Structure 1
Amino acid sequence: MDDSPPDTSPRKEHMLAEVRDDFGLIRVWEVDDYRFLEFGEAIEQSCTFTADPAWLEYDYTRAMLIGALCHPAPETALFMGLGAGTLTQACLKFLPLDDVECIELRPDVPRLAMEYMGLADDPRLYIRVGDARELLPSAEPADLIFVDLYTDQGPGPAHLAWAFFEACQQRLNPDGWLVINQWGDDAGKPLGAALLRGLYHRHYWELPVKEGNVILLVPASLDQHLDLQGLAARAEALAPRLGYRLDALIGAIRSAT
C-alpha cells in the first residue's frame, strides 16, 4: 500500500502557440499530459490527451460519439466545426468510415490541430475552410452530420438558425443521423428548444451531459426511430477499444421535451 502523501504540486502550464486572426485569439496550452485549444481569453474549446488523440475526455464528446453509434454502419460523415479534432479522430478510428469531410471557419485551427493536437493526416479526411452555412450546400450527403460551431462568445449563429438546421437534416443520407452539440439552459433544455421542436416535429432525442450541454440526436426522417437496444450493443462491443463505457450516458437519453 502506498502511504506517500498525494502530489499537491501545481500543474505545469506551457503555452505552445498563440495566433490572432480575423475572429480573435487562438492559443494552445500544454498541461501535464493534456493539450488545450482555447479561443479568446481562456475559453477552452478542446482537450487532447497527448498519448491518444482519439481519447474523448469530456462527456459531451462521448455523447456525440453515441450519436454516431445510432447508425449501425456509417460510411460517410460531415463535421461542422473541427476544434482539436478529437471527435473526428475517434470516429475515424472506431467507425467504418470511408469518407469524412470537415468544415472549419478559422484557417489556423486545422493547422494547429495537426501541429499540436495530434490530428492525423488521414487520407479519408478532407478539410474545407469557410462558413458552414455557406459551404453546407456544396457538401456531399452523409450518413452522419455533426454540428459543433462555437466561438469564444458561445454558440455560433447557426445554432439558432431554422434554415441551417433544416438544411443539415436534408443533407443526410437515408437512415442518417444529425448530431448537434447544443447549449443547455438552467432547466436542462437545449438552446432554441421551441425552434427545434417545431422544425423536427419533436421527433428527435436529447442527451444532457454534466458540462451543461444537451446533445441532440436527429434522424433523417419521421419514419426513422432510435434503436436503443442496437445502440447499447454497439457501445458494449466498442468499450474495450474505447477504454471507457458509455452505459450511463446512453441511460440518460430521453425523447424531445
Structure 2
Amino acid sequence: MTAEREERLLARVEDAFGIISVYEVEDYRFLEFGEAIEQSCVFTADPGWLEYDYTRAMLVGALCHAQPESALFLGLGAGTLTQACLKFLPLEDVEAIELRPDVPRLAMEYLGLADDPRLYIRIGDAMALLPTAEKADLIFVDLYTDHGPGVAHLAWRFLEDCQKQLNPGGWLVINQWAGDDGKPLGAALLRGLYHRHYWELPVKEGNVILIVPSDLEQSLDLEGVRARSQGLAPRLGYNLETLIGEIRPAT
C-alpha cells in the first residue's frame, strides 16, 4: 500500500488487545491492527482471491495433501485463506480459532467472509483451545498481532501439539517470519522439534512458510503438488508454479 492511496475508513473498534480497523481502497479492503499494521487484504469482487504471496504459499502447503477433508485455522484474520481453501479444496469440516471476537464479525460484515455451513469459528486463545479442537488433515498457524508473530510461533510445546493434532498423512502449515539470513524465526528450535523433517517456502514479503508432515515417515510429493496446482490454475486465476519451485528442505 502506498502513502498516496485514497482510503476510506469503514469500521474501527477497540478491544482489550488494541484497535482493529477496516479500510477500503478502490477494489480492495484491508484489515489492520494497531496503527496501520496491515493484516489482511481482500479483493472485494472475490473474497477468496489470495493477493499476498505468503497466503498463496500457504495454499501450496495445503496442496501437499492429495485429498484433505478437514482443516483447522489457528488465526482467522479476514478469512481469505480459509475461503480459498473452502473454495478450491475438497474440505468437509473446517474449524477456525480466532483470539479477538470482533475479527470474524468484521470479516463477515465488511470483508466478504461467507457463512459457509462447513465452517465453525471459535473465539479464544489458540494455545489454550488447541487440545479441544478436532484432529485435521491440514492445520494452518498464522497468529500475528500488531507487534509481529504471537508467542505461539516460538512455543515448543504448542508447535509440537499442532503436529500431534494432525491426522495420519496430514500437513501443518506455519506462516513464520524470516530473519536477515533468510532462515525462519526460531530455526534452531524448529530443526530440533521437527527433526529437520520439514520443508520451507520463502516469499517476497519476508516470511517463510513451513510445511511440516505429521510424522517422519511422510515425504513431500512435489510432482503431486505441481499436478494439483496445474489442475487448479484455471480456477485460481494465478499460477503457483514459481512458488512451488522455491520449496526447499529445512535449513
With normalisation by structure 1, the TM-score equals 0.96
**Shift, 1:11, TM fit:** 3.5
Matched residues, number = 248
Which residue does 2:142 correspond to in 1? Answer: 148
User: Aligned letter for 2:196?
Assistant: R
Q: Pick from 118, 133, 136: which aligns with 1:124?
A: 118
**Shift, 1:67, TM fit:** 0.5
Q: How does 1:26-37 map to 2 (within 5 A)?
A: 26-37=20-31
**Shift, 1:55, TM fit:** 0.2
Residue 244, structure 1, aligned to residue 234, structure 2: no
Residue 46, structure 1, aligned to residue 37, structure 2: no
Q: Which runs of 5+ in 1 are unaligned?
A: 1-9
Which residue does 1:135 correspond to in 2? Answer: 129
Q: Return the alpha-carbon distance in structure 2 between the equivalents of residues 13 and 139 of structure 1.
A: 38
Query: Deviations 1:204-237 (Å, cap 9, x if unpaired)?
Result: 0000000000000000000000000000000000
Residue 107, structure 1, aligned to residue 101, structure 2: yes
Task: Give the number of the structure whose alpha-carbon radius of gyration is greater.
Answer: 1
Residue 173 of structure 1 aligns to a residue whose secondary structure is strand
User: Aligned letter for 1:105?
Assistant: L
Q: Pick from 209, 220, 227: which aligns with 2:221?
A: 227
Q: Return the alpha-carbon distance in structure 2 between the equivalents of residues 31 and 238 of structure 1.
A: 29
**Shift, 1:23, TM fit:** 0.1
User: Aligned letter for 1:86?
Assistant: T
Q: Return the alpha-carbon distance in structure 1 between the equivalents of residues 241 and 133 of structure 2.
A: 33
Residue 182 of structure 2 aligns to a residue whose secondary structure is coil
Residue 27 of structure 1 aligns to a residue whose secondary structure is strand
Q: Return the alpha-carbon distance in structure 1 between the equivalents of residues 50 and 248 of structure 2.
A: 22
Aligned CA-pair RMSD: 0.5
**Shift, 1:12, TM fit:** 2.4
Q: Which runs of 5+ in 2 are unaligned?
A: none
User: Aligned letter for 1:212?
Assistant: G
Which residue does 2:54 correspond to in 1? Answer: 60
Query: Deviations 1:126-172 (Å, cap 9, x if unpaired)?
Result: 00000000000000000000000000000000000000000000000
Q: How does 1:158-237 map to 2 (within 5 A)?
A: 158-237=152-231
